[in-house]
Amino acid sequence: MIYQEIKLILPITVLSFKKQVSIQDLQEFVRIKARELYYDAIHSNLEVMGPVYWVYYGMDGNPQTMFTLEIALPVLVSNGYSGDFTISQLAPFKCISAVHKGGWEKLPETYMKLYGEIGQAGYTPMNECREIYINIDFKNAENNITEVQVGIQ
């Protein structure tokens, strides 16, 4: 983890895919949905405005818990959209944020540190977390850079 900070994220217009899943289901979307979102954005003449987000609503770390997964690609919409996904907005979001470098198998350690900071600072965690995939390297996981954001009140 390089740094931690409190942020207020403004609304973000996204092209998105949403589904009710459990932690055990997540692997089926890796390398698939992001590619489909990019393909659809380009073929729908949408301008891509940032990296892919994975947003977790109601995930509690229990492998059996069902929660909402949203895989979202920030876009600029200039005309009507009629593709396969949904144009929506990620709501304003107050969070504690950290940059995670390296393999995703160690993301739980970053979350644990953030939740520890939330408790120490006296914040209340919300039921929303975001992962922003700044750099993805499927061949050399140590090159991955992921911003982890945990919602707070």
**pLDDT tens by residue, 91-107:** 999 999 999 999 999 99
User: Can you give the CATH number for the domain in which 125 is found?
Assistant: 3.20.80.10
111 phi and psi, to 5 degrees? -60, -45
Is residue 131's pLDDT more than 80? yes
Whether 2 shows a pLDDT value over 60: the answer reads: no
Q: Model-level pTM?
A: 0.93
Domains in the chain: how many in total? 1
Tell me the C-alpha distance between 110 and 4, whole Å. 10
- Based on DSSP, count helices (H) and strands (E) in the chain, helices before strands: 2, 9
Beta bridge partners of 12: 90
Report how far residue 75's alpha carbon sits from residue 88's, in angstroms, rounded to the nearest whole number. Answer: 10
Confidence class for position 3, pLDDT limits 50, 70, 90:
low
Instruction: Give 53-76 pLDDT, tens digit per residue.
Output: 999 999 988 889 999 999 999 999
Encoded tokens for 10 = 């403004």
Contact 111, 77 (CB under 8 A): no
- 34-48 per-position pLDDT tens digit: 999 999 999 999 999
Task: Provide mean pLDDT across the span 131-141.
Answer: 96
Enclosing H/E stretch for 132: strand 125-135
pLDDT of residue 66: 97
Mean residue pLDDT of the chain comes to 93
Q: What angle do CA 66, 5, 120 make, to 5 degrees?
A: 75
**Structure confidence at residue 78 as a pLDDT band (50, 70, 90):** confident
Between 61 and 49, name the one with better pLDDT: 49
State the residue range of the domain holding 25: 4-152
Q: How far is CA 89 from the centre of its chain?
A: 13
DSSP state of 102: S
Residues of the chain above pLDDT 90, percent: 84
**What does the block give as tokens for 101?**
């470098």
